[in-house]
Amino acid sequence: MDTKELLGRAQEYVELEQDPRFRDEVKSLIAAGDLDSLNDRFYTSLAFGTGGLRGMIGGGFNRMNPYVVRRATQGLADYVRFAAESPAPKAVIAYDSRRYSALFAEEAALVLCANGIKTYLFSSLRPTPELSFAVRRLAATTGIVVTASHNPPAYNGYKVYWSDGAQIIPPHDEAIIARVRAVARDTRAMSREEATAKGLLVLIDREIDDPFIAMVKSYILRPQLVREKGAGLKVVYTPLHGAGRMPIERSLSELGFRVVTVPEQAEPDGEFPTVQYPNPEEASALKLAIELARRERADLVMASDPDSDRLGIAVPQGGDFVLVTGNQLGALLADYILSSRRELGRLPAKPVFIKTIVTTNLQARIAESYGAKVYNVLTGFKYIAEKIRLFESSGEGYVFGGEESYGYLVETEVRDKDAVSAAVATAEMALYQIAQGKSLLDRLHELYERHGYFEERQISRGFAGESGREEMGRLMDRLRSSPPRALGGVEVALVKDYGAGTTLDLRAGSSDTDIDLPSSNVLQFVLADESIVTARPSGTEPKIKFYASCCARPGTALAEAKREVGARMRLLEEEIDRIIAGS
């Protein structure tokens, strides 16, 4: 982009943006002649993708700001008025603790109201799963949650939901994207006072909170155990300055569990001052919680991310606490929920378990051992939600599902990952194992001995700016056109291309179109020893992610299995590092 075009785009934004904080930011860059900064903000427009928006906060078309939010919401409103089954469409909006989340939520609400769409706006921050629940309970056409999940403080975004309470999928996603792109310079909006006076803007809180919490508590499998012994379980919890405090504290406390919240991280704060990343996947994010748990002699540590859809835990071992990975917690929950339902006679006639293609196969082995059918879906909880919707007419019964990135869904009233219900299920599970004279780690080791020891790693690399995205594309193209014949010294047997829907058998030299999933830019390499390496560009961040999984044979002694798998994993990590370095 030449200087004249760049400055023209910057000036156009200045004219369109009504918020002086964001407008003046760009005006200052123009006055200073900072072309590099302007180029980063204007070389492209922040894309409304298949899930919505996510980007750095700031002035510019390639940033999250009031104008970009209004434009995206105008496109959404245009589609809602076109596609809504009801002549009086409705929307629900929630937001988390991030910088400007409340502002962006209100901007979106006032655009929807100006387009004649009655909008329910939460009066203060609420978690993503409660937004999904509210869409279904209020019979809304669409929903928005303003969040950038577990990204650093510089980011914000919003996710769009449809009437089933799930994030948008075809045909809605592409149709909404097209409507957003078609929005010209101007957007419709009205004042908050006018929207309220006309009954188009309605504030909500307890009328959704109370039934949401009641629903979460209803999924307790052993209520008598919880009533009798719940007070004996002490949980240290941190919301990481996000939206999880109210629903998780309330759910656990009302069930009788003792909850101690980390005071330094209890209050909402979009700067996330006590952590580098507000992500329960990061060990550093649980540091304060574990320190408190040692002092309190707690039985369990829990952490939710800012919009409270992800849950991380740590458990006591030998006087300290051990972090449990997302794959491990998913395996434990699958085992507890399926075994408990079978024991209590509450398994559906056709039980179903769902996981993503990058989630450990240990979970699949566990689910199948209880007679559940296992579905593998693409990364993204919207694909799990889509399956649940299809089960409503197929006669299959959803029991549990999740993904490796600390996301789980216990119930069907929510159609996205839910840290609130997962926290309650985890507390009950920990209490049950203690009642059996075991710890969660004891049970995990039993699962490893029965089904085989599994170990997983994720290796990511960021690709900043315009050139970075091009570099990321070249890396995927190279892996697709010239797949490696071996990884970590082990032969690659199969190459699964989820973009083309094909499986290439490198041994036989044959290719089959046998992947019945939506097209996605993902490559998966299945090795001769059953290890799996998956390459997937992130859909929400400018990075590529490699997932590696290795396993030992069932029945192998745990110590031996860990040595064997650890050695193979180190070789795979070195190989992946070389692939990334060569990009």
CA dist 38 and 114 (Å) reads 32
Beta-bridged to residue 321, according to DSSP, are: 316
Beta-bridged to residue 161, according to DSSP, are: 143, 167
- Say if CB 281 and CB 215 are below 8 A apart: no
Triad 56, 62, 65: Cα angle to 5°: 60
- Say if CB 171 and CB 193 are below 8 A apart: no
583 has catalytic annotation: no
Neighbours of 305 (CB within 10 A): 30
Beta-bridged to residue 163, according to DSSP, are: none
Contacts of 145 (CB under 8 A, 6+ apart): 93, 94, 95, 96, 128, 131, 158, 159, 161, 307
- Sheet of 311-317: strand order equals 258-261, 234-238, 300-304, 311-317, 320-324
Tell me how far apart the terminal alpha carbons of the chain are, to the nearest angstrom: 25
DSSP labels, 396-451: -EEEEEEETTTEEE--SSS-S--HHHHHHHHHHHHHHHHHTT--HHHHHHHHHHHH
Query: How far is C-alpha 540 from the chain's CA centre?
Result: 10
Burial 313-338 (b: 16+ CB within 10 A, else e): bbbbeeeebbbbbbbbbbbbbbbbbb
CA dist 569 and 74 (Å) reads 48
- Phi first, then psi: what are they for 177, rounded to 5°? -55, -45
CA dist 189 and 448 (Å) reads 57
* Three-state helix/strand/coil letters over 141-184: CEEEEECCCCCCCCEEEEEEEECCCCECCCCHHHHHHHHHHHCC
CA dist 311 and 409 (Å) reads 11
Left, alpha or beta for 312 (phi > 0: left; psi -120 to 50: alpha)?
beta
Q: Which is catalytic among the residues 149, 304, 308, 421?
A: 149
Triad 212, 199, 89: Cα angle to 5°: 65
Q: Say if strands 201-204 and 155-162 run parallel, antiparallel, or are unpaired.
A: unpaired
DSSP labels, 54-76: EEEBSSSTTSBSHHHHHHHHHHH
- Say if CB 147 and CB 105 are below 8 A apart: no
- Say if CB 125 and CB 75 are below 8 A apart: no
Pair of tokens at residue 92: 């629900």
- Say if CB 407 and CB 309 are below 8 A apart: yes
CA dist 51 and 458 (Å) reads 23
For the annotated catalytic residues, the residue numbers are 149
